[in-house]
Structure 1
Amino acid sequence: MAEPIVDPLLLRIFIAFGLGALIGLEREQAESGGSFAGSRTFPLFALIGAVSQAFFPGLLPTVILALVVPLTVAYVAKVLTEHDIGLTTLTAAILTVLLGALTVHSERGAVFAIVIGGVVTVLLSAKPTIHGVVDRVDKSERRATLKFVLVVFVVLPLLPNRELDIVYGLNPRFIWFMVVFVTGLSFVAYILSRVIGARHGIALTGILGGFVSSTATTVSMAERTSEAPDIYRISAFSVVVASVVMFPRALVEVAVVNPALLPEVVVPLGAMTVVGLVLAGIGYWRSTLEPTIEADLENPFRLQPALFFGLVFAAVLVASQFANSRFGDAGIYATAFFSGLADVDAITLTLSRLAADGEISPAVATTGIVIGAIANTLTKVGLVWVLGTRRLGERVSVALGIVAVVGIVVVLL
């Protein structure tokens, strides 16, 4: 077998050097980082970590401690001379040493080092954007978010990771993890809606509102249309888009809980998504108004709604298991419909889990998820009729009615 052109260890050391140079270039351009350490120093940090791990792995902790001393001295000098107490560059320096060591540790370590190095560089360079996001979130929302995150990190490790008879065979850690996952998915969309929703108008409002809460978006648009009937075209577009975005959100949940089920579910939900977006696009194209309006969305990182979703999810999971054992597939479908009227996330996660455990077939899980999605779509139609205007109700009913029919047809084929 031919010898490699470049020694594998040497290649990984070059990778470490490149990661250090990447982070160093970013720090060189940063106002608070350039004077402390920059494009020359950071590659050296990475090389120190790489060489130590490659030839003296037992001394790596000592090397890091030895570096902490001059880094601390340099940091103190920076604080005294520039009155800048930021720890970002100091932290990045220590992390760069570890990334260098990780690069030569193993092949998997090299991959992780490259990914982490890229993420770190993006994070460091995104300082203005991140600060802008924080400035757009008021103090009460920040406190609520911090409380939620604190509870998540405290509660999750304490919950038993096994099925308990006392709670009807449920796995408490899995239930809470699903609560965190769904809430986190909503929170990402919520932050994006706060940052760029208003500037990009109603289209982005519908998309991001659908990921946060399609029901909340529907209620908000219906109430706004009731106050200003002339915006019914744009409001209909927003409601339809928010309702359709619910389907890709469900696909993300299926992919996390049961990736093997995704190929089956993606066909009906994908068809419903495409048809819904086409109908929404036609409605938007025919519209003559484009006001910049936003849905009234609340921060999803709040304990009370999260706990409520956890209870709903647990109840739907127990009810689905009971319905399956007592009534078979018909019980699953009935449970999917009635739970879908209120929330599609719970039934999507439940049926994905049951299919993963082998309690129901993938076909039954797929049909149940589609039924839940259709039921939730019908809820949106009912809300716009009750809270909105007749014109809004007619437009939304036609669009979402076609979407529901497409879902039924695809499942029955």
Structure 2
Amino acid sequence: MDEIRLWQVLGISLVLGLLVGLQREWSKSEGAGIRTYPMITLLGTVSALLAERFGGMLLFGGLIGVAALMVMMKVMMNLNITEERPPHSGPTTGMAALLMYLVGAMLAFDLVPQAIAIGGGVALLLQWKRPLHGFVRRIGQPDIEAVFRLVLIAMVVLPVLPDRTYGPYDVLNPFHIWLMVVFIVGISVGSYLVSRFFGAGAGTLISGLLGGLISSTATTISYAGRSRSAPDSSPLAAVVIMVASAVVFLRVGFEVAVVAPGVFYQILPQLGVMAGWMALIALFAWAFSRKRSQELPEAKDPSALLPAVLFGALYALVLVVVAAAREYAGEEALYIVALVSGLTDMDAITLSTARLVDSGRLPIDVGWRMMLIGAMSNIVFKGAAVCLLGNHRLSRRILLLFGISISGGIAILLWWP
């Protein structure tokens, strides 16, 4: 390692240690603070640097030394127990010290981005003690069950599925199909838990954002139903529905970036323009709505196994139908498939189209148009749901907002070069 790089590594080590030490000192954590943590992190870096010359036992010995120091500190603190100073029983400080020692060592081994991410994550976990503990107190039995159902489908079912193609047109891969189920349920469960973290105090824009990530269709139906019993909420309900519908395009982009990174940058301009157009419409709707927050409707558990299995079946069906339509009926039939499949679910048509484009089975020009048609079809479905379930004020607003949105989508379809 050259001298300039060495000083850079030592500087980063010092900054990361200071960051964690600052948090510990500010939170009045007894023992290690703003001076100790930088020294621990630097010790890890220096030990790793010296271990390259004198052997790995030096690095291991430093780790043992830090662990012994933290144990000794804890014992001494517990020996001085008074009414003003209760027992110090938590392992967080010691674990943070050991982890920051290893973060320092990672810097010496040129794992700089990973070390920075871990060091920053440690600081955030320490700082977010109260919000995280409050979150755990707020979650109930259904929330825990949602997490472990995700564990079931991701860590128990997925690994045993065969990773090879079967069936007509050689497009059905059980492992890949269930991987898409895990992916979609993972996004929904993550957003669901975030909504639980924010609780009932989430504002209008956050409600729309989380609603779009969990399910824009479910969010639309929920707010439409609420508008009948609370007509005055119609302006804000329209904003939440509009924001959730715009966020769908961010979710689509994220899904494509994960399952088909090579396709992402080719669809980003078209779907980005559509997302920006709908966000602009939502912004104007928000500007003319009442300036008060609205609680997020109680989100339903998105990890239920039956919907997950149904999504997997729909995804597989779309793969086969798209492959058959391409072989026998041409591009026009593909657009009809996108129109129908996008009515109630955007994820299936998005993921299946992205995988087919990535594998060379579909041209990119057809692929992004199918995704956009599916999204517009889903907007039409949500508009119909609002008209059926919502009051007249909300229906008029949504028909206007969705009509302008679809006009922009049609313009993109027709005139995109």
Give the TM-score of the pair, scaled to structure 1: 0.87
Asked whether the equivalents of residues 36 and 74 of structure 1 are also in contact (C-alpha less than 8 Å), the reply is yes
The answer for the alignment partner of 1:333 in structure 2 is 335
In structure 1, distance between residues paired with 2:327 and 2:73: 67
Asked whether the equivalents of residues 175 and 310 of structure 1 are also in contact (C-alpha less than 8 Å), the reply is yes
In structure 1, distance between residues paired with 2:210 and 2:232: 23
Query: What are the superposed Cα offsets for residues 325-351 of structure 1, whole Å, 9 maximum, x if unpaired?
Result: 332323322221111012001111111
The answer for the alignment partner of 1:49 in structure 2 is 44
Letter in 2 for 1:39: I
* 1:222-261 pair list within 5 angstroms: 222-261=224-263
The answer for the alignment partner of 1:294 in structure 2 is 296
In structure 1, distance between residues paired with 2:291 and 2:303: 34
Query: What are the superposed Cα offsets for residues 116-144 of structure 1, whole Å, 9 maximum, x if unpaired?
Result: 21222122111122223223322331243
Asked whether the equivalents of residues 271 and 406 of structure 1 are also in contact (C-alpha less than 8 Å), the reply is no
Aligned partner of 1:394 among 393, 396, 411: 396
Asked whether the equivalents of residues 217 and 296 of structure 1 are also in contact (C-alpha less than 8 Å), the reply is no
In structure 2, distance between residues paired with 1:273 and 1:11: 41
For 2:342, what is the secondary structure of its paired residue? helix
1:68 pairs with 2:84: no
Give the TM-score of the pair, scaled to structure 2: 0.86
Letter in 1 for 2:357: A
Asked whether the equivalents of residues 27 and 39 of structure 1 are also in contact (C-alpha less than 8 Å), the reply is yes
Distance 1:26 1:364, change over 3 A: same
In structure 1, distance between residues paired with 2:397 and 2:165: 48
The answer for the alignment partner of 1:101 in structure 2 is 105
The number of equivalent residue pairs is 405
In structure 1, distance between residues paired with 2:325 and 2:167: 19
Distance 1:273 1:317, change over 3 A: same
Asked whether the equivalents of residues 153 and 182 of structure 2 are also in contact (C-alpha less than 8 Å), the reply is no
In structure 1, distance between residues paired with 2:381 and 2:201: 29
Letter in 2 for 1:391: R
In structure 2, distance between residues paired with 1:143 and 1:76: 39
Letter in 2 for 1:11: Q
Query: What are the superposed Cα offsets for residues 261-281 of structure 1, whole Å, 9 maximum, x if unpaired?
Result: 334433333333333333334
Distance 1:72 1:175, change over 3 A: farther
The answer for the alignment partner of 2:385 in structure 1 is 383
1:318 pairs with 2:315: no
Identity %: 36
1:136 pairs with 2:138: yes
Aligned partner of 2:16 among 7, 16, 19: 19
Letter in 2 for 1:164: T
Name structure 2 gaps, 5 residues minimum.
none
For 1:359, what is the secondary structure of its paired residue? coil
Q: State the Cα distance separating 1:95 from its structure 2 match.
A: 1.1
Query: What are the superposed Cα offsets for residues 333-385 of structure 1, whole Å, 9 maximum, x if unpaired?
Result: 22211110120011111111111111111111100000110111111011112
In structure 2, distance between residues paired with 1:277 and 1:334: 27
Aligned partner of 1:37 among 14, 32, 37: 32
Query: What are the superposed Cα offsets for residues 207-246 of structure 1, whole Å, 9 maximum, x if unpaired?
Result: 3212211111111111112223343333223222222221
In structure 1, distance between residues paired with 2:78 and 2:158: 38
In structure 2, distance between residues paired with 1:303 and 1:78: 49
Greater displacement, 111-120 / 341-350: 111-120
Letter in 1 for 2:17: G
Q: State the Cα distance separating 1:410 from its structure 2 match.
A: 0.8
